[in-house]
Every structure is written in C-alpha cells, then in structure tokens.
Structure 1
Amino acid sequence: MSEPILEMRGISKEFTGVKALSNVNFKVDQGEIHCLVGENGAGKSTLMKVLSGVYPHGEYSGDIYFDGQVQQFNKISDSVDRGIVIIYQELALFPDLSIYENIFIGNELQRKGVLDWNEAVVRSKELLNKVNLHINPETLIKEIGVGKQQLVEIAKALSKKVKLLILDEPTAALNDKDSENLLNLLRELKKQGITSIMISHKLNEVISIADKATVLRDGQTICTLNAAKGEVTEAAIIKNMVGREIEDIYPKRNHQVSPDRLLELKNWTAYDPKLGRNIAEDVNIHVNYGEIVGIAGLMGAGRTELALSIFGNSKKYKISGDLLVDGNQIQFKHTSDAIKSGIAYVTEDRKGDGLFLLQDIKNNISISNLKNLSDYGVVNDNEEIKTAEEYRKSLGIKTPSIEQKVGNLSGGNQQKVSIGKWLFVGPKLLILDEPTRGIDVGAKLEIYTVMNKLIESGMSIIMISSELGEVLGMSDRVYVMAKGEIKGELSSEEATQEKIMGLATL
C-alpha cells in the first residue's frame, strides 16, 4: 500500500462569516493521480489555495502534513520549496517572453552571481522533451497555442523539482487532442513518481485518469472514490456532488418543432482579411422556430466565427451569400441590426467578453437594453430593479441580492446572468456558444432546463458545443463543421458520437 504524500486534516476556512471549508479531510497517496471534484463553490480551489500557501497558516484551522511532516506555509514560495506546485486555469505566463524565460523566471540559473541564460536554454530543451513538447525554447509564448502553453507550465513545475503537481481545470480551454495529450503526460509523470491532484468538471476525464476521486460539497468532504474498486463512475460522482441522483443529465422536452423557418443561410461565405482565408465557406443551414440546432466540430473548425458573422459581423469579415430571417433577405451592418431582427449571441468567453465582472447583476442584465428602461434618456431605477429580479427568479440565479458583483458568482450563475442579459432584448434566436463550459454538472442541468423553457416558449437556439454528449442530448438537429465548411447534417435520431467525429475529421 502506498504511503500518503499529503494529508489535510480538519481544514476550515471562513470569508467574512461565510464558511468556505468546514472540517475538510483530504488524503493523497504517493504516486497517484487524485481528482478533486464538486460543484462550483464546493471549496475545491479554496482547499488548494490553503495547501499552496495562498491562504497562509493562521488564516485557516486544521493541519497539513506533507511527506509525513506538519507544514505551515506562509506564502506560495514556501510550498514550492517543498515541491508543491499549482497550475491555475488562467495560466501565469508572460506572452512577450520566450519559453525558456518563462520556465526559469523567478527561479533563474546563475553562475558566480550572473544569470546563465545559455544554461537555461539547454535545461529548457531537456524539460520540454520530458513533457513531449518539441519546440525551440526561444519561441515567444504568444506564438504558441493554449495546449502547448499548458505543457510549458508543467515544464516550469518540473524545473522546480515538483513532487506534488496540482492542476486546476487544466483542460477547460483545450481541444480534445490537446486534452488527451495532457492526460497522457500526467500518466507519464506518474510513472516517474510525480503525484498529481487534478480539479476538473469533465467527468469523462476524471473517470479516465483518476486513481481516486474526492468529492467536496458545500465546503465539506463527502467521500473518496477508489477506481481500483470500480467506484469512480459518472453516477457515483454526480450523486455525491449534487446530493441526489440525476437519472437523465439532459432533460427531455415535450415539444413539437415548428415547420416555419426562422433563419436560413444560403451559400454563406465569410473571408477573414487578417488570416487571409475563408473562416466559413459555402455554408447552407437553417433553423426552425422552437428548435435547438447543435453545431459540432473540433476546435478551429470555424463554429464561433460563423456565429459572429451572423451576429452583425463584428469582426468585419467579407461576407457573400444570403441571410434570411422569417423568409426575408437581410443584411446586418452592425450587431445592433442583428439584435433588432431578434438575434442574440451569448459568447463562449463570459469573463472576457460577456460580462462586467466588477459590476452587479442588475447592471449586467440591464445594459443590453437600457433604452427599454429609460425615460427621456434617464434610466428608471425601479424598472431596472424589477427587471433584474424577474430574471433572477426565472433563471434561478443563486445570489442573496441583484446588487452582488458578478465576479463573485459561481461559473454557472455567471452564465445565467449572461443569458439573462440577452433575453432582456427579447430575441427570437439565441446563439449559445459553449453554454456550459467550465461549470459543474448540477449547474449544467439548470442551464439545460432554462434552454428547454426557452424553446417551449417559441424561441429557437443555435448551440455551439465541444461536448459531444451535450450536442447529442440537447439538439433536435446537428450540423458538423470542419475547416469552415458544413460537412454534414444529422437528425437527433441518427446522430451518434462516431458519426459526428467521422464528419468532423473529414
């Protein structure tokens, strides 16, 4: 039996009277891959911040044992010195510096008091080889993709002689290929004796890679599941995460799709002058009233670009082809034109492009349609409050007040605010780009339920998603894109993961 490399005993942590962690016990054995799962707000990231010294000793109660010794980390460098390295979802790399500079920044190699960058380049090559990234270490970070940047972060951790590697949602922004490469690397590091803790909402990845999985709920340890005993299953994880069994993650709809077409694209081509190529080519699709149309494909297939070209063409692509709304040919010169025609777009990047994180829920919802709340150019505060409260209730936004800052909400509740913001403009067609990215399974079910209610009210939805289960579970029809082209159309009855991937890789 492996000896524990880490034990956290009775960890409790409060924020201004709110208990984020309550008597949490967490044990990780030497050389295992241990997944930490739970809904947003369950306490996963807080627990790892306690471990890594972000929250120093004295700001929490309980004990941390690492390598059999009690630890009292007062800052991040204390945990790093002991071999504990955490990699966050938002990567801590400097885009305008080279790979080798990023690997050794703060941990510079010196010879007789002088920085030895030549040795840093040599060492970086060795570290990059260990993470299977064969690239010139002098390459700038901004010149490589997110998947390769993740590998650079791990190489950086290896340079610090890591014993315990913590990864917080490492595959959230990666495509399927890069995600699988990362998981395979963790398996390789395991063979080298490196222990890993991975926080993830992607249950298929947890099931694929975890030796054990610990579930947190409401700041408490619920259970630890052992893969060797067959305990790490989707049903077991979901039941322990949300406190109930979810028989069907994708709620069924009792609703007939209208034969009337809301939107149609004919021979739609969008040319990106910056890239010097078409990002959408000869696209022919349609959406009926009361229908969820899924758009599937690999990262880089052109799905988001297609959506933006429909939604007022904010990226200034050169467009040819026809766009019809309610059978009428129309041209959008601006996103405001698309909104007036009943089209709204919920971005995949809610934190970067979709929401004002430092403003409250009320302001985020009202900002999309202030004209509707204004009298002679002055916003009616009472109407703004009334509107925000209506969406808070109808969308189930969990918050003590609509004056709560959006940045303080969980990912699922942020997504509901983002949806509410666009529902306030009264759209006929809602384009949802990666609607459940980075949110937990309980919040996903709530988003799916909202989608079904919108469809039953007569609205239509275009759903862009990289999760095949989501595409299959929620779509009435599926279009598959690859390299800017529509490679096929599948009904819900004939669509399978194999058929979608077959078309996506044509």
Structure 2
Amino acid sequence: MPTLLEMRGITKTFPGVKALDNVNLTVEQGEIHAICGENGAGKSTLMKVLSGVYPHGSYEGEIVYDGGPLALRDIKESEAKGIIIIHQELALVPLLSIAENMFLGNEIAKNGVMNWPKAFKEAEGWLKKVGLTEPPSAVVGKLGVGKQQLIEIAKALAKDVRLLILDEPTAALQENDSAKLLDLMLELKAQGVTQIIISHKLNEIARVADRVTVIRDGTSISTMDKHEITEDRIIRDMVGRDMANRYPERKPNPGDVLLEVENWSCWHPEQVGRQMIKGVSLKVRKGEIVGIAGLMGTGRTELAMSVFGRSYGKNHSGTVKMHGRVVDVSTVTKAIDAGLAYVTEDRKGLGLVLEEPIVRNVTLANLFGVSKGGWLDKHRETQVADGYRKQMAIRTPGVQQKVVNLSGGNQQKVVLSKWLFTDPEVLILDEPTRGIDVGAKFEIYSIMKDLAEQGRSILMISSEMPELLGMCDRIYVMNEGRIVGEVSGAEASQEKIMGMILKEGRAA
C-alpha cells in the first residue's frame, strides 16, 4: 500500500520536559495503525503535532503527507486536508442538536444564513452511515457516551476525512458500544479511510490494527505488523521489561468483619418509581479486597455512591455498620468520619480540580488536617502533599504542578492520595484503573496490595473481569440492582460470574 503519512524525527519540548524525542511514524493508505505507550509516553502530544494543535515551528522534524510536506498553522488547516482528530474528551455541545453539533464550524450556509433543511438532510445521511437512527434534531446531551462517540465520527465523515485519529475512543464505553465502534472502524477501513487509534485496550488493538507503533518515554521503540502483534510483545516494548505477572503476588490474611451493608435500598433521584438498589447486603473484612462484578448499568456505582454519604439517589433505607456498630453515613462528611472513602470512576470530572496544583488536590478532603485555628498551614500542606508524592511515586517535578498536566496514572495516584489523607478504614474504588496503561495499572494494584496488608479494606468495582480475578479475595456479582451471587477469589472465573448474571437475567 502507498504511504499516506510520514513523521520524521519529531521532537517537541516544553519548559523543562522533552515530550517527544526523535519520533518516527509511517502510516500507509487505508490501514488502521495503532499507537501504544504508557501514560505520559507522548502519544497524544504526537497526534497534536500531526493535527496542528501544536503548529509548525513549535517542534523539530518534518511531516510528509500525501507525498508533500505538511506545515500546519492550526487545526482548521489540518481538517481542510482531511486530517481529523477525535479527542478522548468529546468536543460536543450538550445543549445543541446532533445536526447543530455536526456542522458547528463547518456550517452549510449562504451569505451568512444557515440552510437548515439541507443540514438536517445531510446529517441524517451521515448518521445512517455510522449506524445511528436518532433524528438530527435530537439533543446530544440526552444521548449516551457510545452514541456521542459515533456522532463525532459522523461529524468527521461530513468533513471529508482521509486520516481519522481516535484518541482512546472506547475508554468510557461499555462492552457492546466498544464492539460497535470497532466494527465501524473496520467498515471505514474497507471504504478507504486511514485511521490511527490510541488505546490502552490491547485486545481491541489486536482485533482491528494492521500495524502497531510503540512509544516509550517520548521515543518510538518499535513498529510491528499484524502477524507480530501480541499483548506480551506490546507490553514488553511499552514498559521496557517483561511482565510475566500483571498482578502483584498477595497472601490474603483477612481479619474480622469491618464493613457491613445490610438490606440497602435507594431510588432514582429523578425518575419516580424507579428503584436502583434493591435490598443489597454485603460484608468486607479487615485487610480484604472484595470485588463487585456486573454489567454496566447494573447499579454498582449507584450502590457505592449511595452508601458514601447518600451522594446518589433518594429514599435510602438499610443500615451500614463498621466494627459491628451502626454508623451514620447520611452525608459525605459523616461517611468520611465513619472511616469510608470513595474514589470515583470519573477522576477528571468528580475526583480532581484539574486546574489546581497537586498540593491543593491532595488535601482537599481533609483541610482540617492542614489547618491551625481555622487557618490553612501552607507549609504543612506542602509537606503532606510531598510525602504522598514520594510514597505513591507520582511522577512530577513538584507538588505545585497542575493536575491537568499529569498522565492518567499519576492523576489516579493523586486521587488516592487525597482519600488516604482522610485515614479511611475502607476504600471504595470505582474503576480504579480506567483509562490508564498496563504499567500504571500494576502500580495501582501494588498500592492496593500494600493498603490491604496495612489492614485497610478495599471494595473494588471494575468492568475488567481479569482485574477482579487477579486482585480480589471475594467477588460479589450484581444484576439489576441486586446481589445475585458471591464467589471466592480462588474459585472465581469469567464463566462462573457471567453464568450468575445470565441466570438471574433469565429468571427476571
């Protein structure tokens, strides 16, 4: 196949940091080319160079596109050449319709007047092409993330895309939506659309990619053809070493029951008559890692949030006990005082204040711990944050660094530090490794192991079954707001867990 894109010797430097160092990338016409690397390896920076977010002159090296030099001044120029990037954080306006979003900045207009009938008709055609049946008038904010991702692709197709760049396209999608998106990528490939995908999900890469380029520490390490692609090979090149065991070795030694949730129920905060959690009971012992498995939408997050200070739902009932005594968890403050902590699945939206420095984020949930007489002790605050920086191995020049500039794995360590500073006995971890690479995952697992060995208890929600099987001493299985099964870590298997879910689904 002819070469569509060559990036030669790309070097990009920020103050004090060399983000890219002599990176080379070749993409052939009509292929799906995957780029893999740990968080902070430089993948997204490379794509921002390619798409004009970082303009020509702000980096060293050269780009050849479609046989000629490419020297972009901005993203509008890249789109004019058919290079479209879809970022992990979708660039849609929630309150506008699908059609309005699709042609925003690319309006179908004459003399400044929008031709809405033509726009809606064209939008309908592009939506059909990506498999969406929603009308162009539908409000984007009322649609799920999977459909919004497809709208972004329809928007790209409407701009006559030749090279489509997808940055972590399935990170926030459930399994069915991910499968649909991957199928669409293969369809677009058959239609001649060249694609670059950045993803941490190695099984998805193995399914769709024709070639894979691995970047480590800002340098291109290897490019492998389809017949050479294996998860072990990608991981070895990503982290610079073999990872025979993806989970740290543990010798579980659970103690007495620490947390008990008994007959817990709650209702949807807006939809009258819809019960979300239905009489759930569970126990977690001291030093134990307990998982909650289940398909997306079965109530796992709703359960965790409702127990943690009733931060989800209404009309709560049931009891929560710590050390056998009933505790008040009616507010977040009272839940923290009772010894609970909740690490949200949405670290960017709910877990962190992205534009604030690490030091401010680490102490946010326990300001009393860095205050004297109602006044913030900034020296103490810096000491605390720097202690967690070292303890958690947060890769950063210092604790005054803005959290938004950290990789996903380091951001997750900041969230964990924030809650550890409240000195909890039980940590509820909701999708603790979502959107982070395999090397950073191992670091998070090691932190979990250390916390359990210290006698803290962990309740982990995860959509990744291998993660639950690799880390948990026991696993509860949820379906439709209920606990439908329980299995020990030693006896657990994907087949057994899915069997519990499907059996309950058939019975319902």
Do both proteins adopt the same fold according to a TM-score greater than 0.5, normalized to the shorter chain? yes
Equivalent position SS for 2:298 = coil
Aligned to 1:51: 50
Equivalent position SS for 1:50 = helix
Aligned to 1:271: 267
1:419 aligns with 2:416: yes
Residue in structure 2 matching 1:347, options 344, 348, 369: 344
Shift of 1:99: 0.7
Aligned to 2:145: 146
Equivalent position SS for 1:173 = coil
Counterpart AA for 1:484? G
Aligned to 2:479: 482
Residue in structure 2 matching 1:262, options 252, 258, 265: 258
Aligned to 1:287: 284
Shift of 1:485: 1.3
1:396 aligns with 2:389: no
The number of aligned residues is 502
Q: Aligned runs of 1:131-280 on 2, under 5 Å?
A: 131-227=130-226, 229=227, 231-258=228-255, 260-276=256-272, 277-280=274-277
Distance 1:112 1:382, change over 3 A: closer
Mapped to 1, the partners of 2:107 and 2:337 lie a distance apart of 56
Shift of 1:315: 3.0
Aligned to 2:491: 494
Please tell me whether the aligned partners of residues 109 and 115 of structure 2 are also in contact (alpha carbons under 8 angstroms): yes
- Shifted more, 275-284 versus 232-241: the winner is 275-284
Shift of 1:370: 2.0
Equivalent position SS for 1:386 = helix
- CA offsets 1:379-416 (integer angstroms, 9 cap, x no match): 33333232222212211111221222222211111111
Mapped to 2, the partners of 1:105 and 1:374 lie a distance apart of 48
Mapped to 2, the partners of 1:191 and 1:214 lie a distance apart of 21
Shift of 1:6: 0.9
1:82 aligns with 2:78: no
Q: Where do 5+ consecutive residues of structure 2 fail to align? A: none
Mapped to 1, the partners of 2:169 and 2:501 lie a distance apart of 24
Mapped to 2, the partners of 1:404 and 1:107 lie a distance apart of 37
Mapped to 2, the partners of 1:104 and 1:316 lie a distance apart of 37
Aligned to 1:70: 69
Mapped to 1, the partners of 2:3 and 2:482 lie a distance apart of 51
Residue in structure 2 matching 1:305, options 302, 305, 311: 302
Counterpart AA for 2:37? G
Equivalent position SS for 2:267 = strand
Counterpart AA for 2:77? D
Shift of 1:246: 0.9
Shift of 1:502: 3.2
1:103 aligns with 2:99: no
Counterpart AA for 1:450? I
Counterpart AA for 1:3? P
Equivalent position SS for 1:270 = strand
Distance 1:17 1:382, change over 3 A: closer
Please tell me whether the aligned partners of residues 264 and 316 of structure 2 are also in contact (alpha carbons under 8 angstroms): yes
Counterpart AA for 2:296? M
Aligned to 1:429: 426
Distance 1:195 1:457, change over 3 A: same
Percent identity over paired residues: 55
Q: Aligned runs of 1:2-13 on 2, under 5 Å?
A: 2-13=1-12
Q: TM-score, normalised by structure 2?
A: 0.96
Mapped to 2, the partners of 1:264 and 1:243 lie a distance apart of 43
Shift of 1:113: 6.3
Shift of 1:316: 5.0
Mapped to 1, the partners of 2:128 and 2:188 lie a distance apart of 13
Shift of 1:439: 1.0
Shift of 1:111: 5.3
- Shifted more, 74-83 versus 447-456: the winner is 74-83
Q: TM-score, normalised by structure 1?
A: 0.96
RMSD: 1.4
Distance 1:152 1:394, change over 3 A: same
- CA offsets 1:436-473 (integer angstroms, 9 cap, x no match): 11111111111000000000000000011111111111
Counterpart AA for 1:283? V
Mapped to 1, the partners of 2:486 and 2:331 lie a distance apart of 29
Counterpart AA for 1:130? K
Mapped to 1, the partners of 2:499 and 2:192 lie a distance apart of 37
Mapped to 1, the partners of 2:177 and 2:160 lie a distance apart of 24
Residue in structure 2 matching 1:472, options 469, 476, 497: 469
Mapped to 2, the partners of 1:353 and 1:130 lie a distance apart of 34
1:463 aligns with 2:469: no
Aligned to 2:26: 27
Mapped to 1, the partners of 2:421 and 2:500 lie a distance apart of 36
Shift of 1:107: 1.5
Mapped to 1, the partners of 2:231 and 2:414 lie a distance apart of 28
Please tell me whether the aligned partners of residues 328 and 338 of structure 2 are also in contact (alpha carbons under 8 angstroms): no
Mapped to 2, the partners of 1:84 and 1:123 lie a distance apart of 20
Shift of 1:17: 4.0
Distance 1:343 1:80, change over 3 A: same
Residue in structure 1 matching 2:325, options 299, 303, 328: 328
Q: Aligned runs of 1:313-392 on 2, under 5 Å?
A: 313-392=310-389
Shift of 1:224: 0.6
Equivalent position SS for 2:399 = coil
